[in-house]
Chains A and B, each alone.
Chain A
């Protein structure tokens, strides 16, 4: 989310963003908390307390606005969608799976077995993904709109992910300990989850072919420089992967406050043989578009600043025969 520049000094220097593989050490972690020790302590203290129903505060989860999608972050991702244990993210929908003890040793024996025993997902699968969900405004609004559908937010920044996780936990707890007069939220926020990940690299590790019905790309990093265009979340080559993960008829939603980026995304989606643009009318009737305009954290900020928002939605067509 490019609009959250903290100060000039936090704007990443392109020279430090070589696509070389930086192995982050404890001192050079790009995502480590702010250097101020007092703030840091406060942050840690806040996180430690058992915040059963209290919503988290953003100021304890600040992080610079950018992450390099090409570098090796220390990410946790499954080897394949069948290996994914969703129970940590949707405890109401998935029973705890037998964990793989190790990624190398014990897999020798399980290789034959993995498709048959215990590894199949329960009845539901994630169907909606919010790529680069930021502070999770869209997720929280979508949750009661699609109470029966599992919605996953993906975010590469660790602090932000932690914020959304705490927010979801608090909301779930609020719903489960219902008080008199409290509004009943359909789904009780059990249907949303957040995961830290690099969607540009690892989407196929999480989702099977045709698993998703909707993908959201809300206010992505614009990467203005021409040589950084490959780092954009919508690119001709990545669209093939999105088409693989989306089912025919599935929809990609994009929104941005940067006109150039809007034109870029619309052009590449238009040019891609697997996508067709949603007619204006259908787009404006779509409840998701309304939510996306008003309820994303960035959307709210743009509205506060009286900026413009550009929306483009595309349907994934049937596979060619």
Chain B
């Protein structure tokens, strides 16, 4: 068997004169024509700066070696070099506060600053780090000494290997001819030209992003620290201007996803601009079972909560009827009247999966799911052979007629049709070549990526009739897949399958000791 190809971790569809499908594989975005299925252009995320050091500051190898030796040497002897008062002031925190905001400097993060030298005229001939290190080793506070020790320890360790700068989210902004892309390793939001994939603008994010969505003029980014920041989408004239992120709201929990909603029917108002009385909202979900409705742009006013989930909430969808569908670690999807915070229906998922899978498949899936959660792996012994947990990774509405969903590890797309009463009802599934890793919708067509060694990498299926089979999107088109190297399998899986890892407290988190 050939080695495994890297699956597609994100897909987005952009309608335009020449409609395109954007797919992300590891660090690369491919723009593929939706009509000819040929790759138009690609963009590769630049490597992330080595952790803890801004890129601008990495000295050449020789001076770096020197510097490390210095640290080890200077530590035991506690000799305090004579310092001017100026230098004293300039040590650690104060320097950081003064240093000019660069792409690499994030408020609230400690980093060694290159501007330390500018305050140390006496030692200009010495390497940068040395002067600041000797200053610190004369340290007055316990904290500084501690960090010294830690640093000395780290100095003997080899630096961690550079991590690939994975693409996180892809969101086309067709009206502005832009594609918003996040990268996870350097935690950056970039705007690329939708046609050429040239980098137009970028912002360094505060924390690793977990989800992004659009309002008319703003990109909303939810991060793993629970906060949501707003970034103004610049017009072509404003691209060069510096624009700051605005903190809109925050959870004290890992924020998993966010979406927007309006008080009246959803789609038109988002696209065509809202009328006068229409209220707008941001809906956010977190790992601690909450769904929160916040007013927008007055984000200090919380409208309400949708409480009912008993496990993490991972995906949200506003339907054509302006209801909310939520899914995550529970065995069911929630259908909500989100304005009232009222749960209208629990849509069963678990029993569909149980009937769908043969015993062998169920065993294999159980095994896979256990692997996705490290905490769970530890307690594997004595657990039943088949114990499938549900982790919803995608929810999308297709053509206003049905809702499709993707579950982590499951090689299928589940379909749920609207009933006459506006509820959801299971309506079969579309088989995929492997675990579905990403999904995008264009009208009644669904594009998805699958994790398989020999099946199609990207497939599409038209959900117009009852029974539907997926086609290979890249069939016949020249497309060179990326292969996963033997040693990277675990690391890749860890990046691709993240939902099940949100599950907490095996043995029941409600149980008390």
Contacts and interface: CB of A to CB of B under 8 A. Distances in A.
Interface stretch (A70-78, A130-138, A145-153, A278-286): A70-78
B300 A74 contact: no
B16 to A, nearest CB: 37
A239 B299 CA distance: 11
A40 to B, nearest CB: 14
Interface in B300-338: 300-302, 304-305, 307-310, 330-331
B54 interface: no
Given A29-B513, A76-B510, A229-B108, A200 B252 contact: yes
Contact of B300 (A80, A200, A272): A272
A108 interface: yes
A198 to B, nearest CB: 8
Contacts of A241: 302
A31 to B, nearest CB: 9
B302 A111 contact: no
Contact of A227 (B108, B505, B511): B108
A241 B300 CA distance: 8
Contacts of A79: 289, 307-310
B39 interface: no
A320 B301 contact: yes
B504 interface: yes
B241 interface: no
A227 B252 contact: no
A49 interface: no
A80 B253 CA distance: 17
Contacts of A274: 300-301
Residues of B in contact with A, size category: 35 or more
Interface string B268-300: 000000000000000000001110101000111
B509 A72 contact: yes
B288 A273 contact: no
Interface residues of A, number: 45
B89 interface: no
A235 B247 CA distance: 12
A243 B301 contact: yes
A204 interface: yes
Contact of B250 (A74, A227, A237, A320): A237
Contacts of A69: 252
A153 to B, nearest CB: 18
B108 A237 contact: no
A319 B295 CA distance: 11
A226 interface: yes
A141 interface: no
B513 A74 contact: yes
A75 B504 CA distance: 12
A204 B305 contact: yes
A199 to B, nearest CB: 9
Contacts, number: 98
B512 A74 contact: yes
B300 A76 contact: no
B375 A21 contact: yes
Contact of B307 (A198, A205, A229, A238): A205
Contacts of B331: 104
Given A79-B308, A201-B252, A204-B307, A273 B375 contact: no
Centre residue among B294, B309, B331, B512 by max chain A CB count within 10 A: B512
B108 A74 contact: no
A227 B110 contact: yes
A86 interface: no
B203 interface: no
Interface string B15-58: 00000000000000000000000000000000000000000000
Given A72-B509, A201-B288, A237 B227 contact: yes
A75 B511 CA distance: 8
A244 interface: yes
A127 B336 CA distance: 28
B300 A243 contact: yes
B249 interface: yes
A319 B292 CA distance: 17
A23 B252 contact: no
B505 A72 contact: yes
A235 B250 contact: yes
A54 interface: no
B231 interface: no
Interface string A310-321: 000000000110
Given A23-B375, A200-B252, A202-B288, A244 B302 contact: yes
A320 B296 CA distance: 12
Interface in A103-148: 103-104, 108, 111, 115
B299 A240 contact: yes
B346 interface: yes
A104 B310 contact: yes
A300 interface: no
B109 interface: yes
B504 A21 contact: yes
Contacts of A198: 252
A319 to B, nearest CB: 6
Given A74-B509, A111-B346, A202-B288, A240 B302 contact: yes
Contacts of B226: 237
A181 to B, nearest CB: 41
Contacts of B509: 72, 74-75
A74 B510 CA distance: 6
A93 B511 CA distance: 26
B369 to A, nearest CB: 17
Interface string B213-249: 0000000000001110000000000000000000101
Centre residue among B289, B309, B509 by max chain A CB count within 10 A: B509
A19 to B, nearest CB: 8
Given A74-B505, A79-B308, A236 B247 contact: yes
A125 B302 CA distance: 21
A239 B300 contact: yes
A97 interface: no
A26 B307 CA distance: 30
B249 A237 contact: yes
Contacts of B294: 240
A99 to B, nearest CB: 12
A56 B501 CA distance: 41
Contacts of A229: 108
B300 A240 contact: yes
Given A76-B512, A111-B343, A240 B301 contact: yes
29 contacts: A23-B375, A24-B513, A72-B504, A72-B505, A74-B505, A74-B513, A79-B307, A79-B308, A79-B309, A104-B331, A108-B346, A201-B253, A201-B288, A202-B288, A204-B290, A204-B305, A227-B110, A230-B225, A237-B227, A237-B250, A237-B252, A239-B300, A240-B301, A241-B302, A244-B301, A244-B302, A273-B300, A274-B301, A320-B301
Given A226-B108, A272-B300, 7 more contacts: A21-B504, A23-B504, A81-B307, A104-B310, A201-B251, A227-B108, A237-B227
Interface of B: 108-110, 225-227, 247, 249-253, 288-290, 292, 294, 298-302, 304-305, 307-310, 330-331, 342-343, 346, 375, 504-506, 509-513
Q: What are the nearest 9 A-B pairs in CB distance? A: A237-B250, A80-B307, A244-B302, A200-B252, A72-B504, A204-B305, A240-B300, A103-B310, A23-B375
Interface of A: 19, 21, 23-24, 26, 29, 69-70, 72, 74-76, 79-81, 103-104, 108, 111, 115, 198, 200-202, 204-205, 209, 226-227, 229-230, 235-241, 243-244, 272-274, 319-320
